[in-house]
Amino acid sequence: MANQNPIRVSVSEAARLFGINPLTVRRAIKDQQLRYVVVRGRYKIDFASLVKWSQQRPLVKYKTETKGLGQYVEKWRIKNTLYSPNPKSSE
């Protein structure tokens, strides 16, 4: 089932989120590696296709982890087990 309300981001937002150059994103659009729509003359990239694309490219994946959103993952981890999901409750 397709997502009825896809998340879409601009070229500059995609570049910031993934820690890459906007030209890299534009090249992927040009090479038809990303799904997008054009809204008022600007690309709006489907976020799911952006994530999939980024995970298939080792350099982009590395930059995401070091310069993009990935650099914050460790800070976001729940350290207090009182508020952490109980692994026994998900069984």
Residue pLDDT, tens place only, 46-72: 999 999 999 898 888 888 888 887 777
Q: What is the pTM of this model?
A: 0.71
- What is the distance between the alpha carbons of residues 52 and 48, in angstroms, rounded to a whole number? 6
- What pLDDT is attached to residue 66? 84
* 15 pLDDT higher than 60: yes
- How do the domains of the chain map onto residue ranges? 8-74
The position carrying tokens 């989120």 is 17
* 78 pLDDT higher than 50: yes
37 phi and psi angles, rounded to 5 deg: -130, 160
